[in-house]
A and B are shown apart, each in its own frame.
Chain A
């Protein structure tokens, strides 16, 4: 309803804006070009008095859409905060990105004026096309599904319950406790880090069993998970019988398995009876109540060699470090010493990785004269007739080879995520989705396609039944800043399924994952997005009548928010959506939009720019999370820049729709610069794939340019990190120079 759009434009003349720009001319842009009903200048808009001017207009009903033409949207956010469910607010950044980057000297004044006018046009246009969000308030089921009953899953269940939430815990084994239950002792968790501790897993299992908020299903696997956050439908398979229930969010605590030691024949495993894995050793000692004896004949083991990194830190086996094995072997060396005070343990390591306070544990082992430690490698191993082993090692501390006669060799084999199927090599998994490459018959002939495996969750998602992994089967997505984020909204991984970790860290990790699971249900209940746009209450809306079932949105969404209906049209699950707008950018029919973000809106903004008849003119589509703040920092440092460009921030560069490029070029814009985050293995995109998607889309822009008979070089994507603001002026200059060399856009002036 056009009548409902009462736009008020508030021009601040402070912070040098009034001196650098002719604000009266800007006022004329608002009043004459756009005929906005209210346009006011203020000498200090962010002051209490300034904000009151706006509030008065809102209260009197004169204005319901607010353009604040002043500083960056990144500052004074709390000051210019008007109820977002009643008013739409748009910030036009005249300060950081116009006045503060103005070229030094008078000659820049006119350029800055044109720049400011264009930003104001775009701001008003954006508002004209914006609506107040109407949140999708969902009837949310507040039950956490915890998958896995080891130390991580048990902890997640208890922690969620103690915050007042219901939990359903599903464990595939017949009893709870996982690996933790097989431990004889656990390594020390507190100073002085010298004494082994009794396992506490039994108490934890009892606590879960006695918790009325927690329902436990053992001997149970997940048959399917359908729906989305707040409204999952979970079907479990309990010894062949199916049971279905609702859940609001999921903690994936599926744990780990030991690396398959049968691949370690070169270390004697499977060949010699007294070569065992650290896990086998643990179970034997536990069963024998602390006695350490040789598997071959049950005689006491008086000399035990521990080989660290057995098949780890090894590109042919497990390429990473499992981070727990050094402590495990120190613990097991203590078993040897406690079992028989005259027995000796010999630990051969690459590096002792007793990180943090565990250093004290290492020290207590070093203080024990019966525990020998050396950096080294195993060169060979043979068996004596009595079953004893001769282990030849290269002792790299002494710089010589030596033979050790041992009763047993314990291989410190590492941890593999349970996301990795038994038959697959952890060092050779398919990228993104774990599965197999298969030959597929299509209309284009036989193609190679990835068939994702069903492993644990069996999600009824169009993009596959499991979570995408980052590497080696670990299903996370932002493991430094936002370690719980995955690419399946509402599903949080914790414990050794997502990173090799010990029980202490798994406990902490489970608590964090439980928090995220609870948070997801609470945000979903308010119709808000989860991380990172938790302030956002819009969601993608689709004009189905124009959808051509091209499936780009269902394929490209980094979070698998869409399934497909039988006819190929997208089936939406708004609570899975992170509101990045990648689907909007992907859609060639431009049918996907948000209340305050749409293809038509950005197109109209592009068209509102007055492209000068002369000189190279550039439009930049920029990531609002990283490139946009970088530009603000250029301003903050008063670096003078040319004025022949206009930036349009996007929620993510992945929202780039190719029609905007056509719109800009057909209006005579000479070059288009796309500033997005780094992509590839070490991607920095907050939406994982956004900047990469933009780049892939760019591959298709050639068609548009060909149609317009324009050079492909007129459109360029640059990967820019937030701290590379110092590079920004140079990037723009270099691009402008390149465009100048190509020459003016022939459409200029038409």
Chain B
């Protein structure tokens, strides 16, 4: 007999969409996420383009759909260990990594208050710290704390355990294995920002005021490391001049051989963040092509209308630092005007592209850039950015379709 359950690997917006949409048709879905929370990359975004609306709004509604639908089972801090079988009957083994906090947690924060050590906050790309006992972010689902055992300096320390009034902390928690049968599998494993340090000429990692576009999202967020203020990392001074470096690693044979589809719109959006908050700030966007496809053109026009935002067709060749001030000195070509432009800026934002996060999996077929075409066998699908670089709405569109494809696998077998 075939299994009437769909496994979705990856709890970002694509995976959430496939899981919720299929469950609302009436099928059981299992959503597996390796982070201790759902939401993936969109949870880290301040606003979506072009509406400039908060991703939390749609996430909250999706979480509500999950919470009220008994057909959806969510596993966080969980990875897929093995898959075998065929369409209609795949055997899956999941490894649930210890969270060290059980379902008794009331998110009261007492453990974090008691915890003596700090760790870099990866949710904010290391720009601030959390305690080793922490809540990933304010809209976390599940709303439950996590303990980063690697950050505990003294493994015998049990201050958090003592502080917890609910017996919610178990420092001896071990990984556990969950086995199940599913009829079809959808990989929605998403993306990682391309490693900006690989572009030597752009100074990321050497100059503190060179940041990535994803770091910019966190800086802009009210729950980010600066509470939404644009303070440059070197001296916490508010920025007055920012340059956006488009195609940082994308459309580049030495790095990503493709266009990441979202970075033009992301930088246009981030230019509005700065301009909204700092009335006299100036922004330059250095681009190869301005890719605002479809209806997004209107947003490009809106941003272009701002006299303080300048767009220059040309690739940034090099970024240097004025060590005395921490200011950045950028050199880029001016394709239309001819010659080179030199600009001094408080901060440079690298529009780094999207790199497929899963690149090696015997069950999957990859295209040559590392994106997942689908499974080698029937009944396994890919969706979202794991499949192709795309924006949020295109990912959701595809993820909705993959809900149907995965249902067809169950119907067929």
Contact = CB atoms under 8 A, between A and B. Distances in A.
A510 B67 CA distance: 28
Contacts of B368: 191-192
Contacts of B106: 14-15, 46, 71
Contacts of A77: 64, 67-68
Given A320-B297, A357-B371, A523-B24, A636 B138 contact: yes
A400 to B, nearest CB: 10
A509 B24 contact: no
Contact of B397 (A163, A483, A532): A483
A434 interface: no
A635 to B, nearest CB: 10
Interface string B360-375: 0000000111010100
Given A360-B258, A509-B397, A191 B369 contact: yes
Interface stretch (B2-10, B47-55, B195-203): B47-55
Interface stretch (B148-156, B181-189, B278-286, B402-410): B402-410
User: Which of A164, A357, A523 has the largest count of B CB atoms less than 10 A from its CB?
Assistant: A357
B55 to A, nearest CB: 8
B26 interface: yes
Contact of B404 (A353, A357, A514, A522): A514
Interface in B24-80: 24-26, 46, 48, 50-54, 56-58, 60-65, 67-70
A77 B66 CA distance: 10
A320 B292 CA distance: 9
Interface stretch (B169-177, B321-329, B384-392): B384-392
User: Which of B57, B64, B223, B412 has the largest count of A CB atoms less than 10 A from its CB?
Assistant: B57
Contacts of A39: none
Contact of A162 (B25, B53, B223, B412): B412
Interface in A348-401: 351-360, 375, 396-397, 399
A319 B65 contact: no
A666 B126 CA distance: 54
Contacts of A677: 57
Interface in A614-668: 625-626, 629, 633, 636-638
Interface stretch (A172-180, A198-206, A473-481): A473-481
A322 interface: yes
A534 B54 CA distance: 22
A321 interface: yes
Given A162-B411, A511-B404, A351 B53 contact: no
Contacts of B60: 625-626, 629, 722
Contacts of B411: 162-164
A531 B411 CA distance: 24
A356 B390 contact: yes
B307 to A, nearest CB: 19
A519 B24 contact: yes
A726 B389 contact: no
A120 B371 CA distance: 53
A450 interface: no
A726 B222 contact: yes
Nearest to A313: B297
Given A360-B258, A481-B61, A638-B109, A355 B335 contact: no
B295 A721 contact: no
A684 interface: yes
A682 B51 contact: yes
B107 interface: yes
B336 A471 contact: no
A397 B67 contact: no
B222 A723 contact: yes
Contacts of A724: 54, 222
B396 A483 contact: yes
B258 A356 contact: yes
B336 A396 contact: yes
A204 B59 CA distance: 36
A159 B257 contact: no
Interface string A507-532: 01111101110110011000000001
Contacts of A355: 259, 261, 291, 293
A45 B295 CA distance: 50
B320 to A, nearest CB: 27
Interface in B204-236: 221-223, 227-228
Contacts of B390: 356
A317 interface: no
Contact of A723 (B46, B261, B297): B46
A474 B25 contact: no
Given A78-B67, A191-B369, A625-B57, A684 B51 contact: yes
Contacts of B62: 481
B139 interface: yes
A75 B295 contact: no
Contacts of B261: 355-356
A351 B290 contact: yes
Contacts of B346: none
Interface in A708-726: 721-726
Contacts of B336: 375, 396-397, 399
A722 B59 CA distance: 10
Interface stretch (A271-279, A497-505, A570-578): A497-505
A75 B143 contact: yes
A392 B371 CA distance: 42
User: Which of B60, B104, B338 has the largest count of A CB atoms less than 10 A from its CB?
Assistant: B60
B401 A351 contact: no
B291 A159 contact: no
B352 interface: no
A686 B165 CA distance: 39
A82 interface: no
Contacts of A514: 401, 404
B393 interface: yes
Nearest to A320: B297
A482 to B, nearest CB: 7
B397 A636 contact: no
Contact of B58 (A352, A397, A480): A480
A440 interface: no
Contacts of A322: 294
A47 interface: yes
User: Which of A319, A471, A511 has the largest count of B CB atoms less than 10 A from its CB?
Assistant: A511
A519 B388 contact: no
A37 interface: no
Nearest to A70: B106
A478 B397 CA distance: 12
A484 interface: yes
Interface in A576-631: 625-626, 629
Given A77-B67, A191-B369, A353-B291, A629 B24 contact: no
A484 B393 CA distance: 10
Interface in B255-309: 257-261, 289-298
A323 interface: yes
B184 to A, nearest CB: 12
A423 B412 CA distance: 47
B344 interface: no
A14 B138 CA distance: 21
A479 B53 CA distance: 12
Contacts of B25: 515, 518-519, 522
A535 interface: yes
B221 A723 contact: yes
Contact of B108 (A15, A501, A515): A15
A16 interface: yes
Given A375-B335, A637-B138, A725-B222, 10 more contacts: A190-B367, A192-B368, A320-B295, A353-B292, A353-B293, A375-B336, A500-B294, A684-B57, A722-B60, A723-B222
22 contacts: A44-B166, A75-B107, A190-B367, A320-B295, A351-B290, A351-B291, A354-B259, A355-B259, A356-B388, A357-B389, A359-B257, A375-B335, A375-B336, A471-B298, A499-B294, A509-B401, A512-B399, A522-B25, A532-B61, A677-B57, A682-B52, A725-B222
Q: Which 7 A-B pairs have the closest CB atoms?
A: A481-B58, A511-B401, A512-B400, A535-B68, A723-B54, A323-B293, A515-B404
